[in-house]
Structure 1
Amino acid sequence: MSQHKYLVTGGAGYVGGVVAAHLLEAGHEVTVLDDLSTGFREGVPAGAAFIEGRVQDAARWLDASYDGVLHFAAFSQVGESVADPEKYWTNNVGGTMALLAAMRDAGVAKLVFSSTAATYGEPLSTPITEAAPTAPTSPYGASKLAVDHMISGESTAHGLAAVSLRYFNVAGAYGAHGERHDPESHLIPLVLQVAQGRRESIAVYGDDYPTPDGTCVRDYIHVADLAEAHLLALDAAEPGHHLICNLGNGNGFSVREVVETVRKVTGHPVPETPGPRRAGDPAVLVASARTARERLGWNPSRADLADIVADAWAFARREERDA
């Protein structure tokens, strides 16, 4: 892969930071654009140029010297999006509209977009393919789907080479890059907080689902595997085409399996607190990543849940030591 120059919007966040690190390791020149509203300055990998700014203002910095954009700058809390939908339309949709206009004006014609499985809503069947109906159940999912539609139109009308990657549950860590959401809402870091003694117990919402142990089943993908898919997507992007790929392991792990794996990896007890089902929580969400394998040549190599948890645990202890 020859050296290129890329703009990474939202590159101070969890996934954006890991992707930026992978781009640098591959020999590329990277500029991170992030307003630090949810990201962290220390999340920007060493070697990347950093601009503290809003994606809505990307035209101030984007020029023809860039070979492409990887777009992660979005708000992503489902519950918050229900309570404050205008925040999500303004940033996720409005911000991307401004970014696409800046790319057109600068003549930058390659885009990899951080999309989400939330575009599918509650699936009719699993594993979920890209042909599944899109029926998001939150403004967050709806905003990401709107951007996917926007990118399709941009590709057809203006020749944009674009790939949208629809993530399922991203987890794990990559060296100094891991999850540090505030507030934290993802299962693995929440269970690790219990193991650290920072939280008394983990709430298990529903134990009567039609799954082997009665708890919800989700598809967990290691953040480093996810990052590798983005670099492959840059190579696979074709002018005038918008490719959409699901990213997941294709294997599901239940809430109880995650909790038990954390117990084994950390050696700490993790008390559970039973709770009622949460509205809109499907029993099973598992991806079919066949398109990513066939079109991108992507082969995730870190599918073992214990390895994912171990990397996340190493990052959590590092954060604890540095606090």
Structure 2
Amino acid sequence: HPLCIGGLGLIGTKPSYEAMKHADTLIMVGTSYPFTGFLPEKAKTIHIDTDPAQIGKRYVTDIGLAGDADKTLKWFIENVEKHEDHSFLEHHQEMMKKWEEKLHNQEDDTSTPIKPQRVMHALQQVAHDDAILSVDVGNVTVWTARHFRMTNQQFIISSWLATLGCGLPGALAGKIAFPDKQVFAVCGDGGFGMTMNDFVTAVKYKLPIVVVVLNNNKIAMIKFEQEVMGNIEFGTDLTNPDFAKYAEACGGIGYRVENVDELLPAFENAVKQNRPCIIDIVVDANEAPMPAKITFGQAAGYTKHMIKELFEEGKIDLPPL
């Protein structure tokens, strides 16, 4: 939508971050948004909710309106004077165009190892408008939220609990509930490894889901969190089986993808099958899910991490002092 400039938070967009930073008025509708660090520091705030207990729960509210959002917003449209100056909106719409161009450029990258953004681009090309995506926890959440452009698809995530391993179970439930719809489990190798035994369940009950595994042999989000906090990566390496062969051993169909040319054909073949499939995609372990806005603290932490690697891991030879 031309008035949408993306989501907020760690997986939000730069235009939304900047808009919040400079906004003078904030209207919160039916939300008690918990990540208040991403909201304006000084804006006047109107909070609309059917439950009065939620109003001002986490963020200072100037005007609280307890009532139905639809009726309240219609009242606003009818009674609030139209603002003729659209420069704030137009500025952030232009930023959004540049943000989208940046994302498209990342999705067009054909390098090896495969970029996770490229995987989302391939998934977008085969997913039906009413498909169900059960997305696991970790970097894969960022890649899907940013690079898979939802139209009418259903998007299942463990947003509050961050339950690693939820992707495959969610896909099983989705296929049982909606047997005529395409269902994808979109997982990192860490998340899939926690519940991969349930792929046998998909085979047993003849549930033709497609499991997309972004395989970088890492618990990658923890790796990047450690680095941003100024620490050396520790305990994040994984030793994975060949997930494609695992699919075949379970009675399903497996595809191993190591090059971009193999990516789209694997997706196109998988969605045609009447058995559950795993697409095991080797992706770049060093592709960081960069935040919309890098803070000084994050930059300082990562610099500290690099210095520690140089000195403590013996990655630089210094002359004796």
Settle same-fold status: TM greater than 0.5.
Answer: no
Q: Which has the larger radius of gyration?
A: 2
Q: Report the TM-score when normalising by structure 2.
A: 0.34
| Greater relative CO, 1 or 2 (CA 8 Å, sep 6+) | 1
